[in-house]
């Protein structure tokens, strides 16, 4: 509405001020005109009375003098009366319609009778009781009395006039003033509206620009039309918009940077408000919250914004002590360390930031380090003990025959070779993990290579009562670029493991296929299989199945770890699938970037 706008308010203010001023001036002017008219009438009537008194005193003909006084009074719409000791004369009312006054009227008024008793000119106005057409009414009049000396002694001449004549004059003045004031107000209205529009138009443009800025449009510009205060306001607004755009751009970039950092952090980050509700989080933190609800909550489908009880308890502790707190917990088989730091709002805690660090891998590495020493010690202790024992037997001549000495020496040789293999494999694994290992790729016939790798184990498989076979869809003349020694090492390890973990009457099948621009090799057995809890660790160092499920000698536990590094060095992947009691399948792929 216009009344709620600055234009309406400014227009109404100007009109109100002008109206008040005009009303005040009108009242003052009317009062001034009324007083001035009355003063002029009194002065005029006093002059008429003085002239009449002079004529009565100097004229020998009283009737002529009285007639002249009556004519003069009638010219000014006034009536006259002469009061002396023995006579009373009242001028005819004529067209003036003045009331008929009697001698008693003048003598009974305390002010008017002073003109009879002394030489004082008297003036009075007001409402007087008079006789008009036989009726007693109140008539507003102004009366001037002038002392006069008549033929029969001291008297007075009274000149009177109805205030209705003065009121008619005042009504005409009021009408003129009112018309003038109305015209002034109308002109002021147009001027005020024009002025308000001139001021309001740029303000409306600035309001529109401010709304656009509030909605994020910082490119809008307010035109500077004038050089007054409104123009300076437009210049200041444009400067503010430009600075605000720079600040918002900087804030947006900083927000994007922080968001990118949070989204890509390995650690989980949660922000809690003063009630402990989650206000911001990143993907690792969301995974922790979902896992916690799944494991500990009766309603695991709760939103990731629902704060776990563990974090609420820790937040209460942080808010109470106003210091960072650290807590360790396990969720869904993973180990987490929670570091919660309070956020302050002047003097009170307004929330907290929690950093959730998944320490599962670190714990696993620590366990591997401890297990590495134990495994190496265990793997070395057995051959060293056997070598020591048989050496002492030979030295102490416990062996009676040359054959027994030869068997003992053979055992010592086998155990020393086993120690050598262990050391070599450890060195190979260390070089692979350190990145100091290079492939020596060659262009070889693919089918012949894998047939040779499988054929090496045909005798062992036959002696173990296991059916060993190979299947391929690759052409006989197809060639492939790889490191033959390293890939043969991988095949040897996988086929040897398959045969050792397969019971008599079982089977081991090798498949070599060309699928989706890569070579896919699988080694499948019908052996004892691997338990689900051991599957994630089969490619770790020193991983070995329980000896109760192995046939003959077990390996060092480093073969699968080395196999994984060799395949990954070729740019491929290796995986395992197994069901307990149904067998195991190892699958690795090699990219065909150099295939022919």
424-443 pLDDT, tens digit each: 767 776 777 666 667 788 88
| Whether residue 255 has pLDDT greater than 80 | yes
What phi and psi values does residue 430 have, to the nearest 5 degrees? -65, -40
The β-bridge relationship of strands 583-591 and 518-525 is antiparallel
Full-model pTM = 0.41
| Class of CATH domain 28-170 | alpha beta
Q: According to the per-residue pLDDT averaged within each range, which of 77-91, 124-138, 323-337 is highest? A: 323-337
Q: Tell whether the model's pLDDT for residue 525 goes beyond 90.
A: yes
pLDDT for residue 552 = 41
How far is 28 from 39, CA to CA, in rounded Å? 16
CATH 3.90.230.10 is held by the domain 438-591: no
Q: pLDDT class for 595, splitting at 50, 70, 90?
A: very low
Which ranges in the chain are annotated with CATH 3.30.565.10? 438-591
Six-digit token string for 356: 């959730």
Q: How many of the other CB atoms lie within 10 Å of CB of 80?
A: 23
Does residue 278 register a pLDDT over 50?
A: yes
Do 350 and 344 meet the contact criterion of CB atoms below 8 Å apart?
A: yes
The band of 509, judged by pLDDT with boundaries at 50, 70 and 90, is: very high
At the top level of CATH, the class of 265-358 is: alpha beta
Residue range 456-481, pLDDT digits in tens: 888 889 989 999 999 999 888 888 88
Q: Which residue pairs from 332-338 have beta carbons closer than 8 angstroms and sit at least 24 positions apart in sequence?
A: 332/291, 332/294, 332/295, 333/360, 334/291, 334/358, 334/360, 335/359, 335/360, 335/363, 336/288, 338/310, 338/311, 338/314
- pLDDT value, residue 451: 92
Q: What are phi and psi of 531, to 5 degrees?
A: -70, 150
pLDDT in tens, 77-111: 788 888 887 788 888 765 556 778 888 888 888 88
Q: Strand 278-281 vs strand 507-515: parallel, antiparallel, or unpaired?
A: unpaired
Note the CATH number of domain 363-433.
1.10.287.130
Stretch 130-144: mean pLDDT? 80
Does the pLDDT of residue 40 top 90, yes or no? Answer: no
- Residue 562: the pLDDT is 82
Q: Which residue has the higher pLDDT, 558 or 471?
A: 471
Q: What is the pLDDT of residue 596?
A: 42
**Cβ count near 200 (within 10 Å):** 20
Taking the C-alpha atoms of residue 574 and residue 567, their distance in angstroms, rounded to an integer, is 7
Beta bridge partners of 328: 337
In the chain, list all ranges with CATH 3.30.450.20: 28-170, 265-358
With a CB cutoff of 8 Å and minimum separation 6, the contacts of 129 are 136, 137, 138, 139
Mean pLDDT is lowest, of 185-194, 219-228, 294-303, for 294-303
Section 320-335 average pLDDT: 87
pLDDT band of 547, cuts 50, 70, 90: very low
Residue range(s) occupied by CATH 1.10.287.130 in the chain = 363-433
């Amino acid at each position: 509405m216009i009344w709620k706008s600055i234009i309406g308010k400014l227009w109404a203010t100007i009109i109100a001020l002008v109206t008040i001023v005009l009303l005040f001036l009108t009242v003052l002017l009317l009062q001034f005109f009324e007083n001035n008219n009355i003063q002029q009438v009194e002065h005029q009537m006093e002059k008429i009375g003085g002239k009449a008194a002079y004529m009565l005193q100097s004229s020998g003909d009283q009737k002529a003098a009285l007639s002249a006084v009556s004519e003069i009074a009638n010219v000014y719409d006034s009536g006259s009366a002469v009061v002396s000791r023995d006579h009373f004369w009242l001028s005819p009312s004529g067209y003036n319609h003045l009331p008929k006054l009697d001698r008693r009227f003048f003598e009974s008024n305390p002010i008017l009778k002073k003109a009879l008793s002394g030489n004082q000119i008297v003036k009075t106005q007001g409402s007087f009781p008079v006789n008009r057409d036989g009726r007693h009414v109140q008539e507003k009049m102004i009366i001037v009395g002038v002392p006069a000396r008549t033929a029969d002694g001291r008297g007075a001449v009274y000149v009177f006039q109805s205030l209705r004549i003065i009121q008619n004059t005042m009504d005409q003045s009021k009408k003129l003033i009112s018309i003038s004031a109305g015209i002034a107000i109308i002109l002021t209205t147009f001027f005020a509206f024009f002025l308000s529009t001139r001021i309001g138009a740029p303000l409306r443009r600035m309001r529109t620009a401010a709304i656009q800025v509030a909605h994020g449009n910082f490119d809008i510009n307010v035109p500077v039309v004038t050089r007054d205060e409104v123009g300076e306001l437009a210049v200041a607004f444009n400067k503010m918009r430009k600075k605000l755009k720079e600040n918002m751009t900087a804030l947006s970039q900083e927000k994007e940077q922080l968001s990118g950092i949070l989204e890509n952090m390995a650690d989980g980050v949660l922000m809690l408000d003063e009630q402990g509700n989650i206000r911001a989080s990143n993907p690792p933190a969301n995974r922790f919250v979902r896992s916690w609800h799944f494991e500990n909550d009766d309603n695991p489908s709760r939103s990731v914004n629902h704060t776990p009880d563990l974090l609420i308890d820790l937040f209460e502790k942080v808010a109470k002590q106003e210091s960072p707190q650290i807590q360790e917990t396990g969720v869904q088989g993973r180990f987490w360390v929670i570091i919660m730091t309070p956020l302050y709002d002047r003097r009170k805690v307004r929330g907290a930031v929690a950093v959730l660090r998944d320490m599962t891998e670190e714990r696993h590495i620590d366990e591997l380090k401890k297990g590495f020493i134990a495994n190496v010690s265990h793997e070395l202790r057995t051959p060293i003990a056997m070598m020591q024992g048989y050496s002492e037997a030979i030295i102490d001549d416990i062996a009676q025959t040359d054959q027994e000495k030869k068997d003992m020496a053979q055992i010592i040789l086998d155990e020393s070779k086993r120690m050598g293999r262990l050391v070599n494999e450890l060195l190979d694994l260390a070089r692979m993990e350190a990145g100091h290992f290079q492939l020596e790729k060659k262009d070889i016939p693919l089918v012949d290579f894998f047939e040779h790798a499988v054929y090496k184990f045909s005798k062992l498989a036959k002696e173990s009562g296991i059916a060993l076979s190979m299947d391929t869809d690759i052409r006989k003349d197809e060639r492939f670029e790889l490191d033959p020694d390293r890939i043969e090492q991988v095949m040897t390890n996988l086929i040897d493991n398959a045969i050792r973990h397969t019971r008599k009457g079982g089977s081991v099948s090798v498949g070599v296929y060309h699928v989706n621009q890569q070579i896919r090799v699988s080694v499948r057995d019908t052996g004892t299989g691997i338990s689900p809890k051991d599957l994630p660790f089969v490619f770790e160092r020193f991983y070995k199945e329980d000896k109760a499920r192995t046939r003959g000698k077990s390996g060092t536990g480093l073969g699968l770890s080395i196999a994984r590094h060799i395949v990954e060095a070729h740019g491929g992947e290796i995986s395992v699938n197994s069901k307990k009691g149904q067998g195991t399948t190892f699958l690795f792929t090699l990219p065909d970037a150099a295939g022919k």
